[in-house]
A and B are shown apart, each in its own frame.
Chain A
Amino acid sequence: MSTAVTAPEPRLPHEVLPASEAAKGAREVPAELALELYRLMVLIRDVEDAVQPLYNAGEIHGTTHLCTGEEAIGVGICTLLDPQRDRVASTYRGHGHAIALGSSAQGLLDELLGKATGTGGGRAGSMNVIDLEHGLLGCFGIVGGSMAAATGAALALKGTGAIAVAFFGDGTANQGYFHECLNFAQVHRLPVLFVCENNLYGEFTPFEAITAGAISARPDVMGIPNARINGNDLWDVRDCAGRFIDEIRAGGGPRFLEAITYRFGGHSRSDPGAYRPDGELDAWKQYDPLVLERRHLVDELGVDAAVVDAIDQDVAAEVEAMVERGRAAAWPTPDPDLTEFAP
C-alpha cells in the first residue's frame, strides 16, 4: 500500500494567531515608549539582516540562527525586566534577546565577527553569548538548556522579588528538559516565566508533525497558569507578559507563555527554508511585527510617519557603522591567564 505524498498546506497567520489581547479591554500605550520599543525591534532586525551577508562573505563564521520576524517577543518581555536583578536564559537564536536586554549590539556583532571587542572576547560566538551585567545568564546551544538554567536562576532568586525568564522554541516541548523543568519549577513555586517562541517549525519540520497535542496543554496539566498569544504583536506580548511577571514577582510561582510567531529566515545560516509551502512566508510578512507596530504607531497613536521613517534611517546608519567598526576591530589572541578553572 502506498500513500500519496501531498504538499503541506500553508499555515496562515490569520488562521493560527490567537485573537488580540487588545480586544479584551482598553489599552493605553504612551507614544514615547512605543517609539522606543519600535526602535529596539528595528535595531534587532537590522543587526540580523547584516549578519547573513557577513556570513556569506566569510566574515561571520560557523553558524548563526536569526530571529528575524520574531523580534516582538524578546523586546516585549525583556523591556519589562530589570537587568540588574532579573535573569534571562536564551537559546542559540538569542541575538534579539541580548539586544532587548540592553547588551551592546556592537559587542554582539563583534562577537559574531570573532573579534577581541566581542561580548565574550570572541570565545563564545553566536550561540553562546553571555552578558550577566545585562541580565543575560547566557544563550544555550542545547535545545532545552535555557529552561534548566532559568529554573536554577529562579531557585537563587526566590523570595527576592526578582525573576528568571527562559526563552525556548516549540521544538523544546518534546525535550526531557521541558517536562522536568516545568514540574521542578511548579513543585518548588519558583519565580520563573517560561516563554515558548512557537515559530511553527522545529528546525525543518512543522511542529504539529512531531508534537502530540497542544503545547499549552502541557503546563495546563501541571497547574501552571499559561496563555497562548500573538507573538508578532508587541503589545499583546507586553500585556500578557506584564501580567504574568507581576504575578510571579508577587510569589505566584511559574507562568508559561506560548507566543505564536514565524521565522522569516531558515533554521540556520545554510537553510533557505525550502520546505515551507508556497505562500506561507508571504502571508506571514503581512504580519511582520515591525509592520504591525508601524501601523499601530501611525494609525492608532497618531505618530507622524516621518518620525517612524527617521527611526528606520537612523538605525540603518547606526548598524552600517557598527559593521564597519566590527570589521576593523582587532582579532583576539589567546589569553594565557584564562585557564579552564577559576582561581
Chain B
Amino acid sequence: MSEIAFRTAIRDALDEELALDEDVILFGEDIAAPGGVWATTPGLQQTHGSDRVFDTPISELAMTGAAFGSAACGKRPVIEIMFGDFLTIAMDGLVNQAAKWWFLSGGKVRVPLVVRSAIGAGGQFGAIHSQTPISWFLGVPGLKIVCPSTPNDAKALLRASVRDDNPVLFLEHKRLYAMKGEVDVEPAEIGSARVVRDGSDVTLVTAMKSVHDSMAAAEELAAEGIEVEVIDLRTLRPLDFPTVLASVRRTHRLLVVEEGPRTGGWAGELLAEIAELALEELDDAWRLTCPDTPIPYSPPLEGAFLPSPAAIAASIRARLSGAPSEESS
C-alpha cells in the first residue's frame, strides 16, 4: 500500500464520511472553494456540493454555536477552527453548549459535532499561532479530545470522531501535516492508547508530534542500553489509564512528555491518576513539558522551548542515573 500525507488522510476521512452519511456537513473559514489554508479539504465542495461543504465568515463564535445548533437538530457537523489559538473565541459554543446538552437534557439531546483545529509549535508562528490549547478544554466534562500522531490514526480517529455522538475536539499538529504513512492498516478507537515501542526501563507517555521526538530519543538511548517503552495516547480526554498502568507495572518508571505549558496540563493529570492508582509501582515519575511562558518566535528560542529528542533523552539519562536534569523544564 502506498503512503499518503497526514493532511491527505484528514481529507480522505472527511471525503469518506461525507459520502457515507448525508447528515455530515463541513464548514469553516476558507475550507470549501480554497480547500483550506492547511490544504486538508481540497475538492470536497466539488464532490459533495456547496450545501454540505461551505465557507463561513471569520466568525468563530457563530460558527461553533451553529455547529452546536445543527448537531442538536440532527446534523453531524465538522468545522475547522484554522488555528487552535482561535479556540478562545469558539469556547462558548463548545464549553457552555455542546459539552453540556447531553447531560442537562437527561440524555435526550445528542450533540455529534467535530471541531478540527491545527495546533502546535515548531514553525515560528509566534505566541498566538503555535499553542497547544489542550489544558483550556481538559477540564470540560462532555467533551472528547483526540490527538493523532500518524496518518493512519488521523484517518481512523477522524472517521470515529465524525461517527461519535458527542462533541469531539480533533487536534492536528501543524508539523505533522506533511508526514507520510500508510493508512487503513490499523484500527484506532477514541480513548485507546497505543504502545509504539516496547521497553523495560521506563514508560514514556506522549502524544502528537512528541511521539516522533520521543521515538528518536528512545532510539538514541537504546544505543546506550536504556530501553524506553513509548505510548502514544491518541486521545487526551478520556485518558487511557489502563494501558499506561499496565506498562508502569513492568517498568516502574513513568515520564510524560507534553508539548504544552507545565501548569494544568494533561501530563500532570496523568501523573496524578497513576500515582493515585499505583503509587507502590512507581520508582520514579516526572514530566517534561514546555516552560510556563508564552511561546517565543526566534528559531533558537522556540527550539529551546520545545521538548526536543535531545532534551527527552537527556532527561531520561539524568533521572535514571539519579542526577537532576538541567534540561528538564
Contact = CB atoms under 8 A, between A and B. Distances in A.
Interface of A: 87, 89, 120-121, 123-124, 128, 130, 132-133, 137-138, 140-142, 144-145, 147-159, 164, 176-177, 180-181, 183-184, 187-188, 338, 340-343
B40 interface: no
A130 B65 CA distance: 16
A120 B104 contact: yes
Contacts of B68: 148-149, 152
B312 interface: no
A152 B66 contact: yes
B182 interface: no
Interface stretch (B69-77, B205-213, B216-224, B267-275): B69-77
B108 A145 contact: no
5 smallest CB-CB distances across A and B, nearest first, come from: A148-B65, A152-B69, A180-B62, A152-B66, A156-B73
B107 A342 contact: yes
Contacts of A341: 102, 142, 144, 166, 238
A156 B75 contact: yes
Nearest to A143: B92
Contacts of B111: 342
B241 interface: no
B200 interface: no
Given A141-B96, A145-B92, A342-B165, A152 B65 contact: yes
Interface stretch (B53-61, B279-287, B317-325): B53-61
B169 to A, nearest CB: 13
15 contacts: A124-B105, A130-B104, A133-B108, A137-B72, A142-B92, A142-B96, A148-B69, A148-B92, A149-B97, A150-B69, A152-B68, A152-B73, A181-B65, A342-B107, A343-B165
B74 A156 contact: yes
B109 interface: yes
B59 A180 contact: yes
Contacts, number: 140
A124 B67 contact: no
B123 interface: no
B64 to A, nearest CB: 7
B71 to A, nearest CB: 7
B102 A184 contact: no
Given A123-B103, A133-B108, A149-B97, 20 more contacts: A120-B105, A128-B104, A132-B105, A132-B108, A132-B109, A137-B72, A144-B61, A145-B93, A145-B97, A148-B61, A148-B66, A148-B93, A153-B70, A156-B74, A176-B61, A184-B57, A184-B66, A187-B57, A340-B103, A342-B166
Given A152-B69, A342-B102, A130 B92 contact: no
B297 interface: no
